[in-house]
Each structure stands twice: as C-alpha cells, then as structure tokens.
Amino acid sequence: MQIFEQSDAIKRLPEQFFAKLGKRVRELIQEGHDVINLGQGNPDLPTADHIVKALQEAAEKPINHKYSPFQGFPYFKQAVADFYKREYDVDLNPDEEVALMFGSKIGLFEVSQCLLNPGDTALLPNPGYPDYLSGVALANVTHEFMPLLEENGFLPDYSKISEDVLQKAKLMFLNYPNNPTSGVATKAFFDDTVALAKKHDICVVHDFAYGAIGFDGVKQPSFLASEGAKDVGIEMYTLSKTYNMAGWRVAFAVGNPSVIKTINLLQDHLFTSLFGAIQEAATEAISGDLTYVRELVDIYEKRRNVLVDSLRKIGWEVEAPKGTFFAWFPVPNGYTSAEFAKLLLEEAHVVVASGDGFGTLGEGYVRLGLLDSEERLREAAERIGKLGLFR
C-alpha cells in the first residue's frame, strides 16, 4: 500500500497531549481497574433539561433541516449581544462584532490563520492551553512565551518582555480564569493589557472559556469591559464549560470588528453555520434566568473545598483555586511532574494531567479537574494518601 507523506504543516503540529493521556487510561479501564479520572476537562454533569428540550423542539422545525445562514441566525447573535450587555455591561453590534463558532477550540486555532503570516510573532502563555501552540504551528509563525509564575498570581509580567519582542508581536493569547493554573485576572490587569496592545499594535485574543466559574463570591471580569479593549482584541466564549455543553460544539467570538469579519470570512470557506437547532438551544442557554449556572458554580466550589481539605489531611499542602474547574498543585519533592502523574495513575489509579504537558513552566505541577462527585474526590485523596508520599 502506498504511504503518502504528510504536509510540512502537519509535521509542525505538536503531539496532542490529551489524546496521549487518554490512551493509557483506557487500557487500565479495559484491564478492570477502577480509575478516577481527574486528568481531563470534560464536564461530568448533564446539560440542563430546558436546553435539551429547546433542542428537541427546534429539531422538529423544517427550517432547521436546511443549511443555516453562513454566519448564523440573527436571533442567536442578538442573544449573544444581550448576554454580554447583561452580564458584563459590554455593548456589541451583533452584525459586526459577533462570530459564531463550532466550539472555541476551532476559533482559537482559526485566529492564527486569520491574522498571521510566516515570520510573524505570537505571544503565548507558559504554561498554557496546548492548542494555542497548535494554531501557531500550522500558521508557520514564530512564538514567544510569556511566563506565568505563581509569585505573580500566574499573570504575565509585561515589564519582563523585551522591547524587541513586543515590537515584533502581532498576536497575544490570554486566558482567565486560567487553564491550567486556575489563576484569575483583574480589570486593572486587562486595562494594562489594552494599553500595551495599543502601544505595540498587538491583537489580543482572550480565551474566556471559564468566565462564569469564579469562587468565593468573586465574579471574573471580561477583557472587553476594559476601556478600548474592542480596539485591540476579541474575546472567545464557549458554552462547553458554563453550560455543560462540551459535546454540542458551540461558542462565539466577540469584539474588534475587523477580526470578527476575518473569522467570518475564513469560516465562510470552511463551513456553513451551526445546526439551526443548536443555535436555538444555545440561545435558550444564554438568555433569561441564569440561576442554574450559579448553582453549577456552587457545585464546583463545594467540590473544590472537599478536594483541598482532603488533600491537606494527607499532608499535601495545596492552595485552593480561585477559578475554573481545575486545581494546579505542586508535586512532592523528588518527583518530576510526569513521574508523579505516572505514579498516581499506575499505583492509585487516579488520573491527573502532568504539568509539563502545558509548557516548560508547568514542570513541578499537576492539574486536577473538579469533575467527579465529592465522594470520588475524597476517595482519590485517600488513594493518594495511601502511597505515603506526604508523611
């Protein structure tokens, strides 16, 4: 059989971190082991009933059996604008400042293709969501990493980025509340980001995937709420996390009209729009009373407290995360991130994500998801405690 060589673009792609992680987990399950999987970011609770019913009813409408308008139905884009005004006091023009997407993963990948040319420079967080690097690699551009250090609250220190790098940079990726570190941003930080981006003509892409998931009564700010933010960037918001709709693949980008126009142009060539019934259900999700979202955040906060308390009882000194449904914890002395993650997987059958999978500065940490019941989180801590690592 003829073997056809991959393109140079495909060869540039990094290894898919989460696909590799899942392979060994499946093997252990097939061997009959009871595995507690805290390693991936797949919400464990179902989508709310009223959203599912909206989809079911919309699926019966003949209009949704045809191709949707290329850039989406106006009612959904208007709902996005209403949502941003209601939740963040941000004004959006639904026709020019909203682009619908098949999940934000594809959007984060697309934006590099939209705005960068070979030889351009993108600024990426380290540690950070691995797919930022994938999009940049396919676009064949240079990247520079912005360190996210614990002593700086896992925020980039712009004063430490050289003037030469800032002059060359055309695109910056940010993500708060942050995956994997659980760090949170303030409006003051976003104000500084806007000023930096204006000075150096950098487009900011803020990945707001966990925007609703903040703890201890603190609401996370939108990047676009900072004055002038729409002049220099966009924000991407997915329904995957906040609404337990990961499998539905629906998200939107909002902000700078020129960037939104280019995303829409690229997607006009790649896709028609989302299934109309999905758009109706997504409109239902982000409209009206969002009490059920606050209830979901309460569930994650209770799980966070259970996990942190249980790990402290076994001697693992950890800090409670302030946002997202992840926890970013230091590994014990004498272990690398990969060694510790492997030990937990093989000996305790608890899956965590090795920090080095998110970048070089992830070394020394592991990421745990709050994506199982309080009972299972306690059990995971007990299994880890029996390894005697923290005595």
Supply the mean pLDDT for the chain.
94
Q: Where do the domains of the chain lie?
A: 8-47+291-385, 50-286
- Kindly tell me the burial class for residue 186, based on how many C-beta atoms sit within 10 Å of its own C-beta (0-12, 13-18, 19 or more): middle
pLDDT per residue as tens digits for the range 366-380: 999 999 999 999 999
pLDDT per residue as tens digits for the range 7-54: 888 888 877 666 667 778 888 889 988 999 999 888 999 999 999 999
pLDDT per residue as tens digits for the range 232-269: 999 999 999 999 999 999 999 999 999 999 999 999 99
Dihedral class, residue 153 (left if φ above 0, else alpha if ψ from -120 to 50, else beta): left
Give the H/E segment covering residue 139. Answer: helix 130-139
Residue 128 contacts residue 143 (beta carbons within 8 Å): no
pLDDT per residue as tens digits for the range 165-216: 999 999 999 999 999 999 999 999 999 999 999 999 999 999 999 999 999 9
pLDDT per residue as tens digits for the range 108-163: 999 999 999 998 999 999 999 988 998 898 888 999 999 999 999 999 999 999 99
Residue 107 contacts residue 131 (beta carbons within 8 Å): no
Please give the CATH number for the structural domain made up of 50-286: 3.40.640.10
- Residue 46's pLDDT is what? 95
CA distance 344 to 24: 13
pLDDT per residue as tens digits for the range 149-164: 999 999 999 999 999 9
Smallest CA-to-CA distance from 58 within 278, 215, 370 is with: 278
Least confident stretch, 16-20, 148-152, 295-299, 360-364: 16-20
C-alpha torsion sign, points 115, 71, 193, 125: negative
CA distance 237 to 176: 11
Neighbours of 153 (CB within 10 A): 15
Q: Which fold has domain 8-47+291-385?
A: Aspartate Aminotransferase, domain 1 (3.90.1150)
The β-bridge relationship of strands 353-354 and 365-369 is antiparallel
- Residue 24's pLDDT is what? 80
pLDDT at 352 over 80: yes
pTM attached to this predicted model = 0.95
Strand boundaries in the chain, DSSP class E: 36-37, 98-101, 121-126, 142-147, 169-174, 203-207, 233-238, 251-255, 326-330, 350-351, 353-354, 365-369
Phi first, then psi, for residue 286 (nearest 5°) are -95, 0
- Residue 289's pLDDT is what? 83
Same fold, 8-47+291-385 and 50-286: no
Following CA atoms 94, 247, 298, 149 in sequence, which dihedral angle do they give, to the nearest 10 degrees? -80
Residue 10 contacts residue 140 (beta carbons within 8 Å): no
pLDDT at 6 over 90: no
CA distance 62 to 66: 7
Residue 224 contacts residue 181 (beta carbons within 8 Å): no
Q: What is the DSSP letter of 346?
A: I
